[in-house]
Amino acid sequence: MASLTIRKLDDAIKAELRLRAARNGRSVEDEVRVILREASQQGAQHPVEAGSEQPHRQTSAPRVHGQPGTELPRVTLIIAGGIAAYKALDLIRRLKERGLFVRCVMTHAAQQFVTPLTASALASERCYTDLFDAASEFDAGHIRLARDCELIVVAPATADLMAKMAQGHADDLATAILLATNRPILLAPAMNPLMWNNAATRRNVAQLLRDGVTLIGPAAGEMAEANEAGVGRMSEPTEIADAALRMLRPPRPRPLAGKRLLITAGPTHEPIDPVRYIANRSSGKQGFAIAAAAQAAGADVTLICGPVELADPAGVTVKHVESAREMLRQVEAALPADVAIFTAAVADWRVKHAGSQKLKKSAGGLPQLELIENPDILATISRLPLRRPALVIGFAAETEHLIENAKIKLTHKRCDWIVANDVSPATGVMGGDRNTIHLISKDDSDTSGDGFRVESWPVMSKDDVAVALVDRIAAAAKDQTS
């Protein structure tokens, strides 16, 4: 039997073969095998008579059963060189658990931390490492890896890799894939907090967001380096896998398109002197999650937040403030808005005469701090005669008599809805990732009760609370316009 050398085929046939192989997620050699197999099966069913014309056949063959993962949504996972690369190995499993086919690519630096062999074993698929790999580059391997997937995930995304992406470099397999792809990209940055906060990284991240990549994290926490903490930890593999899954789903409807939302979040810091302040334990996570969910629902979102250790949500206008008075100023400047959501744990009091110099112990006895009340931002906005948003939502953080106190707050502050949550230390809500909430609103049709409607939601992640709340807001906005 004659042997066939693909290299010796016509250029036009080779080009057609490459295209077809890329479309079907196979190597060119495998594609040729499939074509020959199909031809022999067809030949058996319809023997070709000498001189008869072959009917035109579709070039996009159906995906072959039994070839691992070819029926599943495919993710190309690029592992870059950072200590968090070890977590990327767990990510492979989490992505597979969610029914995704994973093909790994490792940079040279990544191989200092984890081996391609481990990644291949976990993915049950070859791990690619070299741009100039004769076996895969014959059929333009980097183009195939860039296109033969529905999503590219980069985890960990190092400062160096993001800088190269922002500049459009393509000097290794990972960057060549990232430059050649037309698929969505999800980056999970991981680096030292100083690198994350460096002006160059900030510029590169801003550029990448403008280019349309999606970011998850980084989170705040301990670094691998001893005694280092801050924003820079890679998000947890389950969070990255969930974000990947969300990106692979058909786009959510955008029920808040054309609506302006204003959200406050986090604590405020009230100065005692230039180095000391009054604060609280709010992490800002719930407000940030609502901002991200509202943005995903199509809203134009302005988030006004006190000092938090969270990355700004993509696509949201974020105003960073310190004190309650600054927060109020920014809220007023962000009006008009259709909906305002006040999740911030605003400090109720500030020091009347904050020291312009550091208070000294030696100055005689204990300092006497006179406190005065801060403006109530929610109540101020709810009472605006002209520019009041159509829907004003407050949060009630309580440690006792949750529902009763929340109803009193709704009435006193004149908001439309109030989201009550128990922030007793035992619940772990303050700073944690889960929340149990009760959505309270005025119900004029409730003549027998106390005139309130109370809906208690099950324990949910703060992200899920955010999505559910945004859905409710969208439904209310629709009712108003219909």
Positions marked active-site: 280
Q: Where are the alpha helices (DSSP H) in 152-274?
A: 159-167, 173-180, 193-197, 199-210, 237-248
Shortest distance in whole angstroms from residue 398 CB to ligand CTP:
7
Q: From the CB of residue 50, how many other CB atoms can be counted at a distance below 10 Å?
A: 4
Q: Is 344 in the site for ligand CTP (CB under 6 A)?
A: yes
Q: Which region, judged by CB under 6 A, interacts with ligand CTP, from 96-104, 116-124, 240-248, 340-348?
A: 340-348
Per the structure block, which two tokens stand in for 454?
């109370």
Q: Which region, judged by CB under 6 A, interacts with ligand CTP, from 132-140, 306-314, 394-402, 460-468?
A: 394-402
Q: List C-alpha distances in Å: 118 to 30, 69, 90, 102, 114.
A: 25, 18, 11, 13, 7
Shortest distance in whole angstroms from residue 420 CB to ligand CTP:
9
Near ligand CTP by CB under 6 A: residue from 397, 437, 439, 473: 397
Q: Which is nearer to ligand CTP, 75 or 396 (CB)?
A: 396
Q: Which is nearer to ligand CTP, 158 or 264 (CB)?
A: 264
Q: Which region, judged by CB under 6 A, interacts with ligand CTP, from 142-150, 204-212, 393-401, 440-448?
A: 393-401
Near ligand CTP by CB under 6 A: residue from 348, 433, 464, 471: 348
Contact 197, 309 (CB under 8 A): no
Near ligand CTP by CB under 6 A: residue from 236, 376, 416, 422: 376
Q: Is 374 in the site for ligand CTP (CB under 6 A)?
A: yes
Q: What is the dihedral of CA 83, 88, 89, 95, to 10 degrees?
A: 170
Nearest to 193 by CA among 148, 151, 223: 223
Residues 193-212, interacting with ligand CTP (CB under 6 A): none
Q: Which region, judged by CB under 6 A, interacts with ligand CTP, from 57-65, 314-322, 388-396, 471-479?
A: 388-396
Per the structure block, which two tokens stand in for 416?
């439309």
Q: List C-alpha distances in Å: 309 to 221, 280, 291, 346, 460.
A: 9, 14, 16, 17, 22
Q: Which is nearer to ligand CTP, 143 or 476 (CB)?
A: 476
- Sketch the per residue contact string, 256 through 295, with ligand CTP: x for CB under 6 A, - otherwise: --------x-------------------------------
Contact 306, 294 (CB under 8 A): no
**How many whole angstroms separate alpha carbon 230 and alpha carbon 108?**
27
Does residue 62 have a cis bond before it (omega within 30 degrees)? no
**How many whole angstroms separate alpha carbon 215 and alpha carbon 209?**
8
Q: Which is nearer to ligand CTP, 10 or 370 (CB)?
A: 370
Shortest distance in whole angstroms from residue 425 CB to ligand CTP:
16
Q: Site for ligand CTP (CB under 6 A): how many residues?
A: 16
Q: Which is nearer to ligand CTP, 236 or 270 (CB)?
A: 270
Q: Which region, judged by CB under 6 A, interacts with ligand CTP, from 70-78, 371-379, 383-391, 442-450?
A: 371-379
Contact 90, 122 (CB under 8 A): no
**How many whole angstroms separate alpha carbon 339 and alpha carbon 262?**
6
Near ligand CTP by CB under 6 A: residue from 217, 394, 469, 473: 394
Near ligand CTP by CB under 6 A: residue from 101, 288, 395, 417: 395
Q: Is 106 in the site for ligand CTP (CB under 6 A)?
A: no
Shortest distance in whole angstroms from residue 108 CB to ligand CTP:
49
E-strand ranges in 314-379 read: 317-320, 339-342, 349-351, 371-373
Per the structure block, which two tokens stand in for 406?
């929340």
- Sketch the per residue contact string, 296 through 335, with ligand CTP: x for CB under 6 A, - otherwise: ----------------------------x-----------
Exposure of 57 in the CB half-sphere (CA atoms within 13 A)? 11
Q: Which region, judged by CB under 6 A, interacts with ligand CTP, from 129-137, 290-298, 338-346, 383-391?
A: 338-346
Per the structure block, which two tokens stand in for 465?
């609370």
Nearest to 23 by CA among 56, 68, 70: 70
Place of tokens 């005694």: 227
Near ligand CTP by CB under 6 A: residue from 174, 346, 437, 439: 346
Q: Is 378 in the site for ligand CTP (CB under 6 A)?
A: yes
Q: Which is nearer to ligand CTP, 213 or 328 (CB)?
A: 328
Q: Which is nearer to ligand CTP, 107 or 268 (CB)?
A: 268
Q: Which is nearer to ligand CTP, 80 or 470 (CB)?
A: 470
Q: Is 409 in the site for ligand CTP (CB under 6 A)?
A: yes
**How many whole angstroms separate alpha carbon 195 and alpha carbon 216?**
17
**How many whole angstroms separate alpha carbon 352 and alpha carbon 286?**
30
Q: Is 345 in the site for ligand CTP (CB under 6 A)?
A: yes
> Which residues form the interface with ligand CTP (CB under 6 A)?
264, 324, 342, 344-346, 348, 374, 376-378, 394-397, 409
